[in-house]
Amino acid sequence: MTINLSNNYQALGDNFSEQTFPAPVAAPSLLLWNESLAKTLTIPFSQKDDAELITQYFSGNQLIEGSKPVAQAYSGHQFGNFNPHLGDGRAHLLGDIADTEGQRWDIQLKGSGVSSFSRQGDGRCALGPALREYVMSEAMFALGVPTTRCLAVVTTGENVYRERPFDGAVVTRVATSHIRVGTFQYFAARNDTDSLKKLTNYAINRHFPELLVEAQAAKTPNPDDKAIADDISSEQVLKFFSAVLSKQIPLVLSWLRVGFIHGVLNTDNTTISGETIDYGPCAMMNIYDSDTVFSSIDRDGRYAFGKQIGIMQWNMTRLAETLLPLVASDEDDAVAKIEPLLTQFHQDLQQGYLTMMAAKVGINTPEQGDAELLNDLLAIMQKQKLDYTHTFTALTNTLNNGQIEAPLNDVLNEWLPRWHARIEPFKAAAHTLMVSTNPVVIPRNHHVEALLASCQATGDLSGLHKFLAVLQQPYTEVTDTKHYQDAPVDGDESYHTYCGT
Ligand code: AMP
Ligand code: MG
């Protein structure tokens, strides 16, 4: 029984990462093991039969055979300010593994000890944030949002000191890669064009093998196992950038669809694969308000719910800047070539937003007047302080039973007939579309927090498992769904999230 790890990122060279071993922990104990993810990754362990081995491997106490752990180097704009020295300060990339479809995934321990990137940090992770990452990323996955996932949570038997001592944990994060906008910024900041080229080629191999010339791809059935080319054409770089942009569109639009607020959308927390990463201060919106912010450190609302499209464009512009030297030796030439892609990205996001929101009210192909219909709805929701998830569920149900409950009937009394008239010709299709677009349950902040608190206080995970089972089917009402649909009594008015470090 083995885990078939490769070390493709490690092979890029010493300037991409630092070789460093996870720091062993005192008394590891397995809390959560993601059995279905393990299966997808062809990891042949079950919690029932292999708990001891899983615990040893995913606490960092024992090295998986073939693993060459590293801390990855990256920079990043944090709240708009560039920090050239970030990198994995508490994470170890163990290696990468191919899933049943041949897609490769990075396996990374988080909370596994310090590296040269740790700065003042202790390299550790508290149990609460580790559980939160597990719950939120599993919920997002089931919601159809592109995301990194969690394979395991192991408690360490050691305390982690934040504002007070907490139980420590190591969480195993799985991502199609951990390449961030900040990874490109790291090399750009050092004027290291050769490494930028190598990184771009690596990213193409990993994420966009379709960009490799057909003949070349045909020769290498597993593109990750081939040597990464040193050089790259300007055309290929532009194609790569375009492909990265196209990955960010479904990402940010699905956040907006389900009411997710990332909370710390720094460039080091923006993957080029378009997966949600870093579940530190994230939260779900209750009452619709585009200015919603829960993060205690986001005082200016830079990462508010409704700003996420704009921030993604800002982050992609930072990525574009790093690629300029690869596009043309003359900067103006390079800008002239890359700018149209950002303009197109802007347009695609605007169009995509309209299409996504239209789908939430059952319209498959938005037409003239639909933007106004939607804006009017959102304006009512904001003014009347309506719950985002609940309102769309209620609208969906009207197509079944013709009824809408109070007070929605009252506040939407002028809007509802307009909407019903619009979708009348295709009501059945509208209903189907709405059912698959609007979740009936999301990981509401108050439920997440209550469950994390009780797990930590009692060590009993049964409530968490019940919650996770409901979150697995967010578009279907199962028996227990009703226990998790309620909006918080105070609208989460005093709810604050923290970076979770
Ligand atoms: P994050 O806020 O998780 O995106 O982390 C930002 C940066 O801080 C990254 O370079 C992390 O590796 C680093 N960092 C966060 N928490 C810790 C910690 N407890 N110990 C060391 N480094 C950390
Ligand atoms: Mg981060």
Q: Do 224 and 208 touch, CB atoms closer than 8 A?
A: no
Quote the ligand 2 centre to 279 CA distance (angstroms).
8
User: What is the C-alpha to C-alpha distance for residues 17 and 424, in angstroms, rounded to an integer?
Assistant: 58
Residue 310 has pLDDT above 70, yes or no: yes
Residue 490 has pLDDT above 80, yes or no: yes
Report the distance separating Cα 103 and Cα 99, nearest Å. 5
pLDDT at 220 (0 to 100):
54
Q: Is the pLDDT of residue 277 over 90?
A: yes
Q: Among 19-28, 276-285, 336-345, 396-405, name the one with the lowest average pLDDT.
A: 396-405
Helix (H, G, I), strand (E, B) or coil at 31: strand
Q: Using a pLDDT cut of 70, give the percent of the chain over it.
A: 97
- Structure tokens given for 163: 């504002």
Rounded (10°) CA dihedral 250, 130, 47, 466: -70
Q: What is the 104 CA–ligand 1 centroid distance (Å)? A: 25
**pLDDT higher than 90, residue 1:** no
Please answer whether residues 467 and 451 qualify as being in contact, where contact means their C-beta atoms are separated by less than 8 angstroms. Answer: yes
How far is the centre of ligand 2, averaged over its atoms, from the C-alpha of 186 (Å)? Answer: 14
Q: Whose CA is nearest to atom 17 of ligand 1?
A: 121
Report the 3 state secondary structure along 438-479: CCCCCCCHHHHHHHHHHHHHHCCCHHHHHHHHHHCCCCCCCC
Q: Are 136 and 108 in contact (CB under 8 A)?
A: no
The token pair at 380 is 């009512």
* Phi (first) and psi of residue 289, to 5 degrees: -160, 115
d(CA 170, CA 154): 5
Q: For residue 74, which atom of ligand 1 is closest to its CA?
A: 10
**Tokens representing 50?**
């292999």
Average pLDDT (232-246) is 97
Determine if residue 278 is left, alpha or beta; phi over 0 gives left, psi from -120 to 50 gives alpha, anything else beta.
Answer: left
Which protein residue's CA is at the shortest distance from atom 16 of ligand 1? 501
pLDDT of residue 216: 64
Ligand in closest contact with the CA of 88? 1
Give the separation between CA 430 and CA 438, rounded to whole angstroms: 12
Per-residue pLDDT band at 226 (split at 50, 70, 90) = low
- Predicted confidence at residue 215, as pLDDT, reads 38
Q: With contact defined as beta carbons under 8 Å apart, do 204 and 211 qualify?
A: yes
Q: What length is written for the chain?
A: 501
Measured in angstroms, how far is the CA atom of residue 125 from the centroid of ligand 1? 10
CB burial string 460-485: b at 16+ within 10 A, e below: ebeebeebbebbeebeeeeeebeebb
| Closest C-alpha to ligand 1, atom 12 | 89
Q: What is the DSSP letter of 229?
A: P
Q: What number does the ligand 1 atom closest to the CA of 115 have?
A: 21
Q: What is the pLDDT of residues 151-167, one digit of tens each?
A: 999 999 999 999 999 99
Question: 340 — alpha (psi -120 to 50), left (phi > 0) or beta?
Answer: alpha
pLDDT score, position 427: 96
Q: Is the pLDDT of residue 413 over 50?
A: yes
Say which ligand is closest to the CA of 92: 1
Tell me, what's the pLDDT at 501?
56
DSSP track, 263-284: S---GGGBBTT--B---SS-EE
Atom from ligand 1 closest to the CA of residue 124:
19
Give the count of beta carbons closer than 10 Å to the beta carbon of residue 153. 25
**Pick from 211-220, 291-300, 456-465: least confident:** 211-220
Name the H helices within 26-154.
35-40, 47-57, 127-142
Q: What is the pLDDT of residue 56?
A: 98
Position 214 scores a pLDDT of 47
User: What is the mean predicted confidence (pLDDT) over 390-414?
Assistant: 93
Which ligand is nearest to the Cα of residue 74, counting in written order?
Answer: 1
CA distance 142 to 156: 28
Instruction: Report the alpha-carbon distance of residue 177 to residue 192 in Å, rounded.
Output: 21
Strand partners, 89: none
Kindly list the catalytic residues.
268
Domain positions in the chain: 10-178, 183-358, 374-437
- Residue closest via CA to ligand 1's atom 23 equals 89
CA gap 201, 206 in Å, rounded: 9
What is the share, in percent, of the chain residues with pLDDT greater than 90?
93
Q: Do strands 76-78 and 81-83 pair parallel, antiparallel, or not at all (unpaired)? A: antiparallel
Locate tokens 């010493």: which residue? 14
User: What confidence score (pLDDT) does residue 348 get?
Assistant: 98
Ligand 1 atom 2 nearest Cα = 499
Which of 20, 77, 90, 297 is the best mutation target for the ligand 1 pocket, counting ligand atoms within 8 Å of the beta carbon and taking the most?
Answer: 90
What residue owns the CA closest to ligand 1's atom 21?
121
Cα of 338 from ligand 1 centre, angstroms = 32
For residue 19, report the phi and psi dihedrals to the nearest 5 degrees.
-70, 125
Of 109, 118, 278, the residue with max ligand 1 atoms within 8 A of its CB, to mutate for a pocket test, comes to: 118
CB 268 within 8 A of CB 74: yes
Contact 260, 284 (CB under 8 A): yes
Give the tens place of pLDDT for each residue, 168-225: 999 999 999 999 999 999 999 999 999 999 999 999 999 999 998 643 654 555 555 5
User: For residue 22, what are its two tokens?
Assistant: 């996870």
Measured CA to CA, the distance from residue 452 to residue 454 in angstroms comes to 6
Dist. CA 420–CA 427, nearest whole Å = 8
| Ligand 2 center from residue 268 Cα (angstroms) | 6
Residue 500's pLDDT band (boundaries 50, 70, 90)? low
Confidence (pLDDT) at 222:
54
Q: What is the position in ligand 1's atom list of the atom closest to the CA of 114?
A: 21
- Name which residue sits closest to atom 22 of ligand 1, judged by CA: 89
Phi, psi of 225 (to 5 degrees): -85, 0
Rounded CA separation 256/358 (Å): 13
Give residue 452 CA to ligand 2 midpoint distance, Å.
21
Pocket of ligand 1 (CB under 6 A): 86-90, 117-118, 121-124, 268-269, 278, 280, 499, 501
Q: Note whether 104 and 115 are within 8 A (CB).
A: no
Closest ligand to residue 120's CA: 1
Please report the atom of ligand 1 found closest to the CA of residue 499: 2
Mean pLDDT of the chain: 95
Query: Helices (H) and strands (E) in the chain — how many of each?
Result: 16, 12
Residues 6+ apart with CB under 8 A from 408: 386, 391, 394
